[in-house]
Structure 1
């Protein structure tokens, strides 16, 4: 492939729902980020019980009206290329009730062109009980060499390494502006910020992050406040943010997009490199993306995306994350090529994941059918999947996408 195609593939695959409504998330994250500046922190306020109950009722109502195929469709995010939308793939995703899309590959068409595309996609979103259940529309808008959307209406974002040299108050302000541009384009979920800590000694020898200057800095003390500030800015403009790539890609050399058997032999369940994730989750992070590397000092037998030790144990139990766990690419990434597509989806969901991301939508029928079969065979798996669907729908409710009368 050409170098541009390779770069597009990398950008399309370089990619977590906060258990509180977006308003509370914005305040909580802003408070955390502001604590690192001279500005007074904003105290978060919990939503009133009536508001929480209304949201829960709407999620339950929507879930209850769904067919099994519609519920399964909420577990998938398929890629759409903005510059060349493939109508056959879009129709395939509609056929399988896919509830989220990922804008993959570079586009310099600007906000209005992306908004036209997204509006067309939203018009084809599933209808449940006479009401449309809108899509989560995501992209990789980190900055530097990983900025999928550009052109009129979009700022040129510097790399995260540059952003890490800014004050957290300025970064939060800039992130709010960038998120506003995403909202104008119809994008409601950003697969950013990168919370990975790349040691200075490894630097650009770290292929997935350091090579592209995708890290905010080389220590947890730098990455943590800047990752929080970026997420707070996203929340301020009502775009859901994603902490990635848990439990961190900062200590590896190989890129899971292009390399098999990528192993982190450094990170443990108590490493300081987990601090950005821990802090972001405490602030109310809505999404966490799981890495496809193997962490030999946490679970040497399974890739993180397929490890209940990583997802259920470390992320859910130890760090207390209650939001949506999204995979890194399970479609074309070389790291998962040895695992049959159906098994990739089943392994990820069984391990505790919620949202399967694939840049190859053609794999969704095989994956979705396998999930439906397993649900029919296993009450425990069915219960687990139902919990995942609830988390995805809760994210949509928090984003104001669900409407219940």
Structure 2
């Protein structure tokens, strides 16, 4: 009897050990939640001086995680990518603007160039039903489903207003309030956007404006678009926004990397805007790091110049900023998009098509132009550069892959 008990006990111990191994392997192999970065990315490579707080919790993160049997964004993106021609890959890295009051006008360009995305430009008080119908019509023209984006920050920067889209307080006002209020406001905004087919909100602003500069900073402080003047506090707010928006199925874009909070001119209206302060380990990078840790789908690159990092070109055309700092030093693996490279004065020195090529060559993925007429020269220049240079062709393919991965995160791809 004693011998049988010993054998039975040994068997139970063995079963517990085996179960533990199985559980550990299952956890190790489980896919990341939508708000999480790959294991070996930002959290392991961020310099100590630019550390950030942990991301704000998301009540919906676990419920929206992909199932174990679903294809990963990488595999799904590669499956779609394999079926795209060079011209279609060039189209995927373009996000082109169209008036929010009449978005269907871009339908022909969407169809002929297989655009990666459309940007709803301007201001509108149209109904949700009307906007939903127009966005659905654009999606029907697309060869590959579109990323549909707008600026719904709040305050002075709010594309949609009216009965279906209540006024949103400015970021500065929300940042001064309770985190719960910020989270609830962002969640409500994202749910309204998702309901009409918008998949990307070009927010949050991760720029920190020093208190002593305030409205003397035209692009951000002048419109109270910043969450505050303390980068640590702004970092916490940015993480909250990313979690709340993406938990409601609207992707976020951190802007304007590596920061526009200390400049004294607006890149939209001034040809050369210079930030003489920002460095690669600047404390003002903390909000961007926090947004990356929170899993933001995208980061927008500014069009200012940063001499202490790279004084040779604007950030959007700077490999030291886009690739070396953002990709390698901060370990960011998501979508990198430009600020407007169409109408903005800061990019006007180069021919339109070359702007797209320079951005992709620097490490960028999605070229934004608010002008519909820019799609043709930008696509043509990207195709020509890829045909002339195999390394650039590989970079273009990688950029298209990042766009498709973002689309998969938005639930647009079927694999």
TM-score bracket for the superposition, by shorter chain length? 0.7 to 0.9
Q: Secondary structure at the match of 2:145?
A: coil
Q: Work out whether 1:117 is the aligned partner of 2:98.
A: no
Q: How far does residue 254 in structure 1 lie from its aligned partner after superposition?
A: 0.4
Aligned equivalent of 1:77 = 95
Aligned equivalent of 2:40 = none
Q: How far does residue 271 in structure 1 lie from its aligned partner after superposition?
A: 0.9
* C-alpha distance 274-55 of structure 1, shift in aligned 2 (>3 A): closer
Larger Rg: 2
145-154 or 285-294, which deviates more: 145-154
* C-alpha distance 34-398 of structure 1, shift in aligned 2 (>3 A): closer
Q: Work out whether 1:358 is the aligned partner of 2:369.
A: yes
2: CA distance between counterparts of 1:49 and 1:302? 44
Aligned with residue 104 of structure 1, among 115, 121, 126: 121
Q: Work out whether 1:244 is the aligned partner of 2:255.
A: yes
Aligned with residue 386 of structure 2, among 367, 375, 384: 375
1:4-403 to 2 correspondences below 5 Å: 22=34, 32-34=55-57, 50-51=69-70, 53-85=71-103, 87=105, 89-126=106-143, 133-403=144-414
Q: Is the 8 A contact 1:262 1:294 kept in 2?
A: yes
Gap regions ≥5 residues in structure 1? 1-18, 127-132
2: CA distance between counterparts of 1:311 and 1:44? 33
1: CA distance between counterparts of 2:312 and 2:98? 33
* C-alpha distance 45-84 of structure 1, shift in aligned 2 (>3 A): closer
* C-alpha distance 319-212 of structure 1, shift in aligned 2 (>3 A): same
Q: How far does residue 21 in structure 1 lie from its aligned partner after superposition?
A: 5.5
Q: Secondary structure at the match of 1:211?
A: helix
Q: Secondary structure at the match of 1:102?
A: strand
2: CA distance between counterparts of 1:220 and 1:212? 18
Q: TM-score, normalised by structure 1?
A: 0.87
Q: Is the 8 A contact 1:93 1:361 kept in 2?
A: no
2: CA distance between counterparts of 1:42 and 1:337? 42
Q: Is the 8 A contact 2:338 2:366 kept in 1?
A: yes
* C-alpha distance 289-233 of structure 1, shift in aligned 2 (>3 A): same
2: CA distance between counterparts of 1:113 and 1:41? 29
Aligned CA-pair RMSD = 2.4
Q: Is the 8 A contact 2:342 2:374 kept in 1?
A: yes
* C-alpha distance 174-30 of structure 1, shift in aligned 2 (>3 A): farther
Q: How far does residue 30 in structure 1 lie from its aligned partner after superposition?
A: 12
Gap regions ≥5 residues in structure 2? 1-30, 38-42, 44-51
Q: TM-score, normalised by structure 2?
A: 0.85
Q: Secondary structure at the match of 1:264?
A: coil
Q: How far does residue 34 in structure 1 lie from its aligned partner after superposition?
A: 4.1
Q: Is the 8 A contact 2:342 2:352 kept in 1?
A: yes
Q: Is the 8 A contact 1:80 1:104 kept in 2?
A: yes
